[in-house]
Structure 1
Amino acid sequence: MSSKDVSITGVEPTGQYGDVEASRASDHDGDFLTQLEDNNLARGLQQRHIQMIAIAGAIGTGLFLGLGGSIQTGGPLGALLGYATVGLIVCAVQFALGEVAALLPVTGSFVRHAEFLVDPAFGFAIGLNIVYGNLLSVPAEISAICVLFQYWTDLNPSVFICIFIVLTFLVGISFVGIYGEVEFFFAALKILLVVFLIIFGLVIDLGGIPGQERIGFRYWKTKGPFVEYIATGAWGQFLGYWAVMTNAVFSFAGVESLAMAAAETQNPRRNIPKACKKVFARVLIFYILAVLIVGMIVASDDDRLNDYSGTATQSPFVIVASAAGINAIPSVVNAVVITSAWSSSNQALLSGTRVLYGLAIKGQAPKIFLRTTSWGVPYVCVLFNTAFMFLAFMALSSNAMTVFWWLVDLTAAGVLISWSAVLVNHIRLIQAMKKQGIPHSALPFHNSWTRYSSPIALFMCITILLTGGWPTFTKGNWDSASFVSAYLDIPLVLAAFLLWKYIKGTKFVSLADIPIKEALEEVDRHVEPAEPKKTGLGRVLGFLWD
């Protein structure tokens, strides 16, 4: 591996918004796309890659295995409303991310945006939170893979841990285009399985399986559309709905990471906003249809949903298929869930390494993390993240699923913090443009309603974050581990923010001083080519990502 030049050079902005002295570039080195990124990183991700990467991150164990628990907690209608609510929040987050990322398509995405638009200390805190979260996410996913393989074999789990550590490292250290192709393939598998399961569930519900009677909306009527959770009456039903939203946030996690490798994406100002728009629609449709179907075919009080083995046996689709005598479904679902877990570990590695690289560009992480291979991969960042993969060996204990859920719960709040950061960045951008007299329509990608959706979504994110561990405060339900896992991330981010602010003496960026005109000049200077029209087979297959 060869180390390339790690000097950072700011881009001198000139053009329609006025000449700016070269010395001004040093005021925001690393805010725009740096020569370091442009020269040392390779643009190996195409539009279809980032579209499917975001889908791959959002469709995983939360959909295949977690829907049953949501039905148990909130009932069929409560779960449906919970996922729909979070889906709308995701919509606001995606469009906010698209508007800012189209203006500033840099490695690290909203982490670098946070320093540009809010405060250097805020960017450092958010970046550190993502790096730390992904350092734990990769071993968590690998430990989950071990549990999933136990569905088929009693082979020592350490074998699978070693295999998937090596595979994950090889994908992470390879040319980013290889990562894109791997994720593209697995995302296609997951989409096909979801479509199949939705159709399969509908066939079962309508009595299309020989020997099985029609179910219809029977469970909505007999068991009720809502489930009382902790409390009774209407308040208990509302709490069930609210508890589902916390689960839904984990299920949707990953869609915000599609812009992390913006400097490695071809035509990012066109492709990232397009991915934000299209991915939201696909993911929301998949989840809403899946929740609706599951609520129709499985009763909310079905004891089989209490199987916490972590394998496909707890999937509501598997429960119904097994009852119908279709024995192949459990193995198919288990296999795809394994690919989902590995896909998630690959995505966490990409996100964690690119954010760490972005922090190093800003001088917020050691310069050694700026070293890249000859094919444009930050190999020191990859090696650093790989060292933490060996935490997966904690799963060799008898309670492997406890280890997995401990790691997942420990990082769950980070998703809401990331979404909140995306929304804060967007709100600050809109305020700065208004302050400087620049129309919202000047952005490369813009929507008139995002100025209203971002504040509403931010309020919802903060509310869900602060109430994430609310069941522990109810009578007789206190659990120290649950409390810590729900709220540990909040003081960690605050401590990182205050520590960096104290050490560096940073200040909140004045709305009038945010160099939006210079950023818009960058857009004018680097006009992306028009999207070529697809013909033949490419046009036929393109429906998956276009």
Structure 2
Amino acid sequence: MSEKFLKQPGSTGSEDDVEAKAITETNVQVEPQHGGAHIVDEHEENDLSRSLSQRHIQMIALAGAIGTGLFLSLGGALQDGGPLGALLGYLLVGLVVCAVQFALGEVSALFPVTGSFVRHAELLVDPALGFAIGWNVVYGTYLSIPSEISAVVVLIGFWTEKLEALWITLFILVTFLVGIAFVRFYGEVEFFFATLKILLVTGIIIMGLVIDLGGVPGQDRIGFRYWNNPGPFVEYLASGSWGSFVGFWAVMNNAVYSFAGVESLSVAAAETKSPRQNIPKACKRVFARVFLMYLSSVLIVGMLVPSNDPSLSDDSGTAAQSPFVTAATRAGISVVPSIINAVVLTSAWSSANQSLLAGTRILYGLAIKGQAPKFFLKTTKWGIPYWCVIVQTLVATLAYMSLSNGALTVFYWLLDLTACGTLISWSAILFNHIRMHQALKKQGISSKELPWSNRWTPYSSRVALGACILFLLTGGFSVFVKGNWDTATFISSYLDIPIVITAYLGWKLFKKTKFLSLDEIPIQDALDEMREKPEELIPPARGWKRLNVLWG
């Protein structure tokens, strides 16, 4: 694997020589030679504040990726696929996420714009694709905030079911205040919650090992007992080897849902310090940490809880649903449920905060390109697109629908429309990356000129794109099994696909956009802009800072 940060084409000296050369050239102004187009818009350059550091964006991505999917959904994966089926399912989706993260890092380093892969689609594929993907993400993030706030109320119900409307009002207000404040304040809030989640996951893994190895007084050593009985796989919707494979494949939906959020790492690229260095670093490190934590958690759960345990069918939405709680309860540890419920509660609220950041910044990016009303471009004096935040907060009041059973049903139907949005976003990221490398080849530009590149990513993106399309098309396969039809599952699995296609074709016909030829993709403009406005090099970690395993 070949990796580099801001190396100059043709550099062959040592790392120190490269850094010295880059620092020497920070005052050199290079005029764009390819039409003079500006990749980073003047609104982003002048109106937003570059206040997020590497530790912020890494922990924001961690906070988004480690959420209710890990704490509550592993039970469903274990029940459908068995301990080995769940582990293999998360491993396969994790490898796809690796390809997505590296593709996102390479493209974002070259095009560090607000809106991330949505704006990349306009620069690399077709403005109509950016419109369709962008509004799909905005719709999904806007509805996810009331969804997460409703989840917060359910989690509070683990302790008390009183004053539900008051709790909804409080969390909407606090979410608004975090969204309208300095973006650095948002970064610090997410940094704190991500740290809580990492500590909890680490503690759970250690607790699981202690329980499994017989470290709890009065408890026998478990080992891999449940891999033998009831077995490593579960027969799902069929019998025999085919049933075991179907059970393994059923894990994919849970795994995709669990990993959702890692793609939002670069949506605030224009508000990140030195994005061409920090975003690629974050992409690498966030993936490694999330991947290891998920695989470790899936392995531990599969060792501690049998796949046929009745508690795995719990759908309360509270800590009682977590297989970690089941494992602790079986071991006689009573304090764990409340601890997990408290951290899952912060996870739900943290996810609402992240959805607000992603939704507002992508809407801001759409407004920059004339694909959303221009008033969304207005920012506070500290660089926050306040109309984007206000509108998203108003949509958050849909959380009050959860107080009525009938209204809650309608609300979840609305939410189901975006359930496959994560796979559509991942597919867009991978397609953007493939197009970038095709344009490099067509225009005769070496990938070594990119601010960050890897030799294997052009191939991994193609394989991962095929996998994402396969996951997308088979996401609702269970409804096609005789006697297993479910309208809500079909809608959540497939309806978003024609919505995105309709939005793409509608904008294309309305604005008469065209699919960009490889020669038109502004690779050279982006390289010229990178040299014209070089970033200050980030010094390598020294001393005790090298021991930092979270964001260093």
Confirm or deny a common fold (TM above 0.5): yes
* Partners of 1:86 and 1:77 in 2: CA distance: 14
**Residue 136 of structure 2 is aligned to residue 139 of structure 1:** no
Separation of aligned partners in 2, 1:286 and 1:433: 36
1:485 CA drift (Å): 1.4
Q: Which residue of 2 aligns with 1:322?
A: 329
Aligned to 1:8: none
| Cα pair distance change 1:399/1:287, threshold 3 Å | farther
Q: 2:33 aligns with which of 19, 31, 37?
A: 19
How far does residue 403 in structure 1 lie from its aligned partner after superposition? 7.4
Please say if residues 126 and 515 of structure 2, whose CA atoms lie closer than 8 Å, have aligned partners that are also in contact. yes
Cα 1:403–1:310, aligned 2, differ >3 Å: closer, same or farther? farther
Which residue of 529, 535, 538 maps to 1:528?
535
Distance 1:446 1:533 in 2: 19
Q: How is 1:453-532 mapped onto 2 (pairs within 5 angstroms)?
A: 453-532=460-539
Q: From the superposition, tell whether residues 253 and 92 of structure 1 become closer, same or farther in structure 2 (CA, over 3 Å).
A: same
Q: Quote the offset at 1:514 in angstroms.
A: 1.1
Q: Where does 1:408-447 land on structure 2 (aligned, <5 Å)?
A: 409-447=416-454
The answer as to whether partners of 1:96 and 1:423 remain within 8 angstroms in 2 is yes
Retained in 1: the 8 A contact 2:29–2:533?
no
Q: Does the aligned pair in 1 maintain the 2:479–2:490 contact within 8 Å?
A: yes
User: 1:137–1:411: 8 Å Cα contact kept in structure 2?
Assistant: no
For the Cα contact (< 8 Å) 2:49–2:271, is it kept in 1?
yes
Cα contact 2:77–2:86 (8 A) shared by 1: yes
1:406 Cα offset (Å):
5.1
Deviation of 1:324 after TM superposition, in Å, equals: 2.4
**For 2:80 and 2:405, how far apart are their aligned partners in 1?**
27
Deviations 1:354-390 (A, max 9, x none): 0000000000000000000010000000011111101
Say whether residues 1:544 and 2:547 are aligned partners: no
Check if 1:110 corresponds to 2:111.
no
Query: What is the identity, as a one-letter code, of the residue corresponding to 1:19?
Result: Q
Q: Distance in 2 between matches of 1:38 and 1:90?
A: 30
Task: Classify the secondary structure of the residue corresponding to 1:411.
Answer: coil
In structure 1, list runs of 5 or more residues that go unmatched.
Answer: 1-13
- What SS does structure 2 have at the residue aligned with 1:66? helix
Question: What is the 5 A alignment of 1:21-100?
Answer: 25=37, 32-100=39-107
Q: Could you tell me whether the CA contact under 8 Å between 2:368 and 2:377 is conserved in 1? A: yes
The equivalent residue for 1:4 is: none
Contact 2:51 2:271 in 1 (8 A): yes
Q: CA deviation at 1:134?
A: 0.4
Question: Following TM superposition, by how much is the alpha carbon of 1:154 offset from its aligned partner in structure 2, in angstroms?
Answer: 2.1
1:246-257 equivalent positions in 2, closer than 5 A: 246-257=253-264
SS of 1:543's equivalent in the other structure is coil
CA distance in 2, matches of 1:530, 1:253: 31
1:144 touches 1:404 (CA, 8 Å); kept in 2?
no
Contact 1:17–1:517 (CA<8 Å) still a contact in 2?
A: no
* Deviations 1:229-258, CA, capped at 9 Å, x for gaps: 101111111111111011100000000101
Q: CA RMSD in A?
A: 1.7
Q: Summarize the Cα distance change of 1:179–1:210 in structure 2 as closer, same or farther, 3 Å threshold.
A: same
CA contact (8 A) 1:55 1:187 kept: yes
Among the aligned pairs, what percent are the same residue? 64
Residue by residue, what CA displacement relative to the aligned partner does 1:399-423 show, whole Å, maximum 9, x if unpaired?
8986786565432200000000000
Q: Residue type of the partner of 1:464?
A: F
Partner of 2:275: 268
CA contact (8 A) 2:83 2:302 kept: yes
Q: CA offset at residue 156 of structure 1?
A: 2.5
What do the CA deviations read for 1:56-83 (whole angstroms, capped 9, x no partner)? 1000111111101100000000000000
- Secondary structure in structure 1 of the residue aligned to 2:153: helix
TM-score if structure 1 supplies the norm length? 0.93
Change in 2 beyond 3 A, CA 1:406/1:321? farther
Q: Unaligned stretches of 5+ in structure 2?
A: 1-27
Whole-angstrom CA distance in 1 between matches of 2:298 and 2:97:
17
Kindly provide the CA deviation profile for residues 416-455 of structure 1, in whole angstroms up to 9, marking residues without a partner as x: 0000000000000000010011111111000000010001
Aligned counterparts of 1:395 and 1:401: Cα–Cα separation in 2:
5
* Deviations 1:111-160 (CA, angstroms, capped at 9, x unpaired): 00000000010010000110000011111100000000000012121111
Deviations 1:140-181 (A, max 9, x none): 100000000000012121111111100110000010000000
1:404–1:533 CA distance, 2 compared to 1 (3 A):
farther
Aligned match of 1:308: 315
Measured in 1, the distance between the counterparts of 2:408 and 2:469 equals 29
Conservation of the 8 A alpha-carbon contact between 1:137 and 1:348: yes
C-alpha distance in structure 2 between counterparts of 1:493 and 1:331, whole Å: 41
C-alpha distance in structure 1 between counterparts of 2:85 and 2:512, whole Å: 47
Residues in 1 aligned to 2:469 and 2:357: alpha-carbon distance in whole angstroms: 26
TM-score, scaled relative to structure 2: 0.92
Whichever residue aligns with residue 295 of structure 1, its letter is G
CA distance in structure 1 between the partners assigned to 2:335 and 2:42 by the alignment: 53
| 1:38-62 Cα distance to aligned partner (Å, 9 max, x none) | 1100011010000001111000111
Aligned to 1:332: 339
* Shift in CA distance, 536/451, structure 1 to aligned 2, threshold 3 Å: closer
The CA distance in 2 between the partners of 1:493 and 1:20, in whole Å, is 32
**CA displacement at 1:461 relative to structure 2:** 0.3
Q: Secondary structure at the match of 1:545?
A: coil
In 1, Cα distance between the equivalents of 2:300 and 2:128? 45
Shift, 1:538, TM fit: 4.9
How far is the alpha carbon of 1:17 from its aligned partner? 8.5
Q: Partners in 2 of 1:511 and 1:19 — Cα distance?
A: 17
